[in-house]
Structure 1
Amino acid sequence: MQLTVAEVIALPVIRAGDPEVLSKHRFDEPIRWVHVSDVPDLSALVQGGELVLTTGAALRDSPQTYLRRMADAGVIGVVVEVGATPLPAGLGDIAAECELALVALRRQVRFVEVTEAVHRMIVADQYERVEFDRRVHQTFTELSLKRLSTAGIVEAAAGILDEPVVLEDLTHRALAVSLRGRSADLLRDWERRSRLRATAEQWAVTAVGPRSEQWGRLIVPVPSPDPDRTQMVLERAAVALALNRMIERDRTGMHHQAQSGLIDDVLRGRIADEREAAARAHALGLRSAAHYTPVVVRVRRPLSAADPVAAQRQNVLLVDTVLHTVNASGHTGLCALRRDGEVGGVLALGVTRPAEEALAALGTALRAEIARVDGTAGAVLAVGPAVDGVVDAVTGLGEASHIAEVALALQDSAKAQDSPRPFYRAADVRLRGLVSLLRDDPRVQTFAETELRALLAGDPAHIDLLREYLKLAGNKAAVASRLHISRPVLYKRLAAVRAALGVDLDDGESMTSLHVALMVLDAQGRNGIDIPKV
């Protein structure tokens, strides 16, 4: 703690001079140095914060001018040796007017002894501060390297200061507290007191986090005997807390990278041994299980999102959301970003419910959570066949990815949007899903137009009739019953369709071609198909 004017006057070497205090202004301020001089103008010799020792020759000649010059030069106070010549009357009032400390020594003292004593204490204090700073720096550096918890960093700061320390967030909720033996009443009504009384109660407060991303405050909720030292410790603790938060986020990122690296190693053949793959997977958090399920989560994003940085942030958030939802649902998994908007994973499903029920609940939870966090409306969960090993499960991500892509395209049709499935397997997408995926291909559109051109330009009822006929695999009795018409009427209408198309409706290849063309028509969501001009 730095020496104040009052502490210097209380030193034995000054007390031996029988000091008389003429002005107590600035008595509690710390002094930077002690200067001995009898010259009337010290403006060129001092830097501010000094205590001047003088025999009083210049002071007696012109008290007002001398003290004013001292004040203007930044001097804190003057100690004058009276000797045989008395001081001018009213000198204390003049010093008070200039806001200076003024002390008269009635007995002679050796100024060299005063300067030696004071300077020794000042230097010792400065050395102690340097040593304290070094110790604080070393302590928090070691804490950062050890990745101590947030509560541990707060406890360390409180231990160094021997004062209570509170870490709060931006809503003034206490996240970590070290009371250092103080009563828990210190936290009573904390949010209100933190908002309104931090300044009034002389609390030491330091923001935590970079200037543009502050996320909390460190507080010593009592007046400090050494505010500078307290502030320094809080600032060092704030840096350690910010670094700890960054490391924790990086650790999450590194965990994702490790999972992605394992999946990539298996897919590229760098790891083919099941024992090695399983050992690495289990070390990364995948629970050992009898079966592993390859899954792919795919979301629909607008093509206009051209900002690569924003896209990367969205993808990282998507991986986080998928992993969090998987874990929250009672499963474990490895996840990796396979491409923009697509996360592939290997799951070890929980054993508390049947697999189909567990996947249905997971798919529903994923769709809701992705919509809430990512703001993406369309999301599908595609599931590949469950297998016995981790390597086979990773290999199955290719099939699951195809299912996800087809399922997402299939969801674009009006019928699929009415009741989206919680998850999709290969059996759920089949030919109609593939057609939905390819519906915007000009060659597919041209094929559908060529197959159905005559009907598209004619009676729309013929399209409906052909759709029912093909859906029931050419069973005329079933078609007549479905459409509530007699067989003769059905035969007449089918003859008109056959004549318009110029094909045999009982031929298997013709039925397949027409059925695919109608699927393309349905996938377009309109009654006709525009042929691209080439």
Structure 2
Amino acid sequence: MTLTVAEVLKLPVVRRAEPEVLSKRRLAEPIRWVHSSDLADLSSLLQGGELVLTTGAAFARGSREYLRGLAKAGAVGVVVELGTVVSRLPASAGRIADELDLALVVLHRKTRFVDITEAVHRRIVAAQYEEVAFDRRVHETFTELSMKGAPLLGIVDAAAKILDEPVVLEDLSHQALVVSTGTAADLLADWERRSRRSPGKRADSEPWSVTGVGQSSQQWGRLVIPRHASDQARATMVLERAAAALAMHRMVERDRTGLQHQAQGGLIDDVLRGRISDDRDAAARAHALGLRKAAQYLPAVVRSPGHTPLGDPVAAHRRNIALLDAVAHTVNAAGHSGLFTVRGDGEVAAVLALRDNRIPLADKALEILGDRLRREVHRVDGVDGAVLALGPPASLVTDAIAGMSEATDIAEVALSMGDNRSYYRASDVRLRGLISLLRDDRRVQRFAETELRSLLTSTLQPEPSHLTVLREYLRLAGNKAAVAERLHVSRPFVYKRLAEVRELLGVDLEDGESMTSLHVALMVTELSRGRRPATVTA
């Protein structure tokens, strides 16, 4: 906190001297010090930022020359006591001071300059001491948090408490990852759009204080005060210190996750292999490794399409570790906890303890988590997309670990589906899930080939082909009008294509069993070829 010229004039000792402002320039500018002297040339005594007190003797040589010397020396302004040496200043003094960008004030009553100097210097020293004490408090607070390994919320809350301002940690996609406790909901309204406009020079830019988190070339987030800060200098300093603590937290977590995730993976492997069968032992180890106690635990799998470079298993391993780190960090940053392990190339399995298991809060939390996981996983080199699959909730840790296998099967099916759900459960994959599990069975493959052979071997046609029309016909439960609308073709065209399909296959397309059989065969073919079902934009 600094003292301005205007604030000096409001001090009781100055007000008693009846000050009159002749030049209002730089009244709002902070002063560094107060210097009293009647010397005509102060250029060797001033360092810049001073407010000069004088009886006016130096004005005898000429107002312009004296004031120009002060301006060159860097003074902010000059206060002249009238009556001791001079009774009034030249009429041009105010105009000259204004031209030279100097504050000029006259005192109409005699006063002791030492009283003014003492009052101002006491304020300046007190303000400087307060700033030093504030800096030390900020340094000690964030150093202690870093040493204790405080969570992200603890660091964000500390910054908010010091500044008495709301503070938000967001990722590079402008999603609010951590919000300080007690932040008003209206400050978070329409967050993503507003955040993209801040900071900025446009008239509609938000007047927010923003500091990047992470090294400039590897920033992974931003700390934001989502309103105009009452003290911008302090806000900047605290946010920068908090950002450093967050960056250190991230680095420590990355170093820690090597051992921690090995331990978590070892626990999961011990349970799956039967080396640990007592849930009390498994739960005790799980809670010691960071899994919070909860009424229900969710088996989960985050699966991305594998793209292992041939002959480069090291690169694949690094990518999987980066994937594991991204998943764990995203889950923890969202306020949940979990056990994590790599189960295969591009696959991370977990047991999750949600922050709140109550419905519909849990469903909303999973939706947000799934969206964040998809974004964060996409940042990992070599990973193109991902799905979050959930097994059945379990009250025991061991049961949740056993449920990972079902989550894995769901994830495998989910990758072949064409929608963009935030997360998948068994109820979302249904028949496609069963077919996915059986698709490598030669009897299932032979069935599909038999059902569709005539179409698969028919002459290639421009889209929409026989297979495309049949697929949409079956997906839309035989609604020909809906098929025409979906494919953007006429109804006669659909009728013609279906008649050709009926003739080629030799089956009744109106028969329920025939429709089911063909639909299953199409699913088997699509999953066996490793592609998602064709989608048509409406």
Q: Shorter-chain TM-score: which interval? A: 0.5 to 0.7
Shift, 1:131, TM fit: 1.0
Mapped pair 1:246 → 2:247? no
Relative to structure 1, the CA distance from residue 356 to residue 124 in structure 2 (aligned partners, 3 Å threshold; closer, same or farther) is closer
Mapped partners of 1:116, 1:216: distance in 2: 47
Shift, 1:358, TM fit: 8.0
1:68 match: secondary structure: helix
Contact 1:55 1:81 in 2 (8 A): yes
2:64 match: secondary structure: helix
Relative to structure 1, the CA distance from residue 323 to residue 59 in structure 2 (aligned partners, 3 Å threshold; closer, same or farther) is closer
User: What does residue range 341-360 of structure 1 map to in structure 2 within 5 Å?
Assistant: none
Contact 1:255 1:284 in 2 (8 A): no
* Partner residue in 1 for 2:362: none
User: CA offsets, 1:461-501, max 9 Å, x none?
Assistant: xxxxxxxxxxxxxxxxxxxxxxxxxxxxxxxxxxxxxxxxx
Mapped partners of 1:358, 1:284: distance in 2: 15
Among 129, 147, 150, the residue aligned to 2:149: 147
Relative to structure 1, the CA distance from residue 14 to residue 350 in structure 2 (aligned partners, 3 Å threshold; closer, same or farther) is closer
1:7 match: secondary structure: helix
* Partner residue in 2 for 1:362: 408
User: What does residue range 188-267 of structure 1 map to in structure 2 within 5 Å?
Assistant: 188-196=189-197, 198=199, 202-258=207-263
Contact 1:203 1:220 in 2 (8 A): yes
Mapped partners of 1:44, 1:188: distance in 2: 57
Contact 2:392 2:403 in 1 (8 A): no
User: CA offsets, 1:193-220, max 9 Å, x none?
Assistant: 3333645554322222221122222222
Shift, 1:368, TM fit: 7.8
* Partner residue in 2 for 1:8: 8
Relative to structure 1, the CA distance from residue 421 to residue 253 in structure 2 (aligned partners, 3 Å threshold; closer, same or farther) is farther
User: What does residue range 69-108 of structure 1 map to in structure 2 within 5 Å?
Assistant: 69-83=69-83, 84-85=85-86, 86-108=88-110
Shift, 1:421, TM fit: 7.5
1:58 match: secondary structure: helix
Aligned AA for 1:362?
T
Mapped partners of 2:121, 2:244: distance in 1: 34
Aligned AA for 1:232?
M
Aligned AA for 1:123?
V
User: What does residue range 277-316 of structure 1 map to in structure 2 within 5 Å?
Assistant: 283-284=285-286, 301-303=308-310, 305=312, 310=315, 313-316=318-321
State, as a whole percentage, how many aligned pairs show the same letter.
55
* Partner residue in 2 for 1:35: 35
Contact 1:262 1:281 in 2 (8 A): no
Shift, 1:125, TM fit: 1.0
Shift, 1:122, TM fit: 0.9
Shift, 1:39, TM fit: 2.8
Contact 1:163 1:180 in 2 (8 A): no
* Partner residue in 1 for 2:174: 172
Shift, 1:279, TM fit: 5.4
Aligned AA for 2:118?
E
Relative to structure 1, the CA distance from residue 369 to residue 54 in structure 2 (aligned partners, 3 Å threshold; closer, same or farther) is farther
1:42 match: secondary structure: coil
Mapped partners of 1:106, 1:67: distance in 2: 20
Mapped partners of 1:251, 1:243: distance in 2: 12
Relative to structure 1, the CA distance from residue 253 to residue 60 in structure 2 (aligned partners, 3 Å threshold; closer, same or farther) is farther
Contact 2:194 2:206 in 1 (8 A): no
Aligned AA for 2:176?
A
2:71 match: secondary structure: helix
Shift, 1:7, TM fit: 1.0
User: What does residue range 506-517 of structure 1 map to in structure 2 within 5 Å?
Assistant: none
Relative to structure 1, the CA distance from residue 346 to residue 208 in structure 2 (aligned partners, 3 Å threshold; closer, same or farther) is closer
1:21 match: secondary structure: strand
Aligned AA for 1:193?
R
2:211 match: secondary structure: strand
Root mean square deviation, CA, Å: 4.8
Shift, 1:103, TM fit: 0.7
Any gaps of 5 or more consecutive residues in structure 1?
266-272, 288-298, 325-331, 373-417, 423-534
User: CA offsets, 1:405-454, max 9 Å, x none?
Assistant: xxxxxxxxxxxxx96579xxxxxxxxxxxxxxxxxxxxxxxxxxxxxxxx
Mapped partners of 1:117, 1:47: distance in 2: 21
2:43 match: secondary structure: coil
* Partner residue in 1 for 2:452: none
Aligned AA for 1:69?
G
Mapped partners of 1:318, 1:239: distance in 2: 24
- Whichever of the two has the greater Rg, that structure is 1
Relative to structure 1, the CA distance from residue 221 to residue 77 in structure 2 (aligned partners, 3 Å threshold; closer, same or farther) is farther
Shift, 1:20, TM fit: 0.8
Relative to structure 1, the CA distance from residue 318 to residue 153 in structure 2 (aligned partners, 3 Å threshold; closer, same or farther) is closer
Mapped partners of 2:219, 2:23: distance in 1: 46
Relative to structure 1, the CA distance from residue 300 to residue 4 in structure 2 (aligned partners, 3 Å threshold; closer, same or farther) is closer
Shift, 1:3, TM fit: 0.9
TM-score (norm 1): 0.54
Mapped partners of 2:82, 2:156: distance in 1: 54
* Partner residue in 1 for 2:476: none
Mapped pair 1:26 → 2:72? no
Aligned AA for 1:171?
S
2:48 match: secondary structure: coil
Mapped partners of 1:237, 1:322: distance in 2: 24
Contact 1:14 1:114 in 2 (8 A): yes
Relative to structure 1, the CA distance from residue 66 to residue 132 in structure 2 (aligned partners, 3 Å threshold; closer, same or farther) is same
Relative to structure 1, the CA distance from residue 11 to residue 315 in structure 2 (aligned partners, 3 Å threshold; closer, same or farther) is same
